[in-house]
Structure 1
Amino acid sequence: MARTVDELRNEIRLAVDRYERIESTAFTKESLAAICDAVGYDVDANDLPPKSQMRAGILWTIGDLDDDDPDSVDGPFRKADLESIEGALRDESP
């Protein structure tokens, strides 16, 4: 059975030591920063960049974008993006 977007988001949250969310919601800046850290995209935790920058950086780091240009990401992650991120995090796990 295919996983829903909400299930994928929660799997990603748990993979980066964030809390699972009951309600459907996009990632917070803090969750995006944790994902950035997990995939190796460097962000300043004391001065977080815009969400679009972090989303682009995550996708760039896992090989789904050619660069980390925030204009190349037009909103929250789509299901295919979430599947790629979840796969990258699973591959990075010991």
Structure 2
Amino acid sequence: MSRKPSFANLRSAAAPAPAVAPVATPAATAPTQTATPASRQGRKQIAGFFSPEMSFAMHTLARRQGRSLQALMAEAFNDVLRKHGESPIGY
């Protein structure tokens, strides 16, 4: 089953084509440990499932404003916290 195109692909129109993966060998399939990117250190993931229309609207707004989807979601979460009398946490 093929995957739908990602909005991340829109960031650069001249993105290089993905490389063809070599044939898997036991050494190539061994799990590897990677360092956590600095942008994710000290952060925790929050995920949710939304309608395709909501996803498209949020990605479109983020693209139009030149912001990340994560930044828009942080703004929305802070607005909900304020609405319910809690202190906003920030980004």
Shorter-chain TM-score range: under 0.3
Higher helix share goes to which structure?
1
Larger-gyration structure (1/2): 2
TM-score of the aligned structures, taking structure 1 as reference length = 0.25
Greater relative contact order structure (CA < 8 Å, 6+ sep): 1
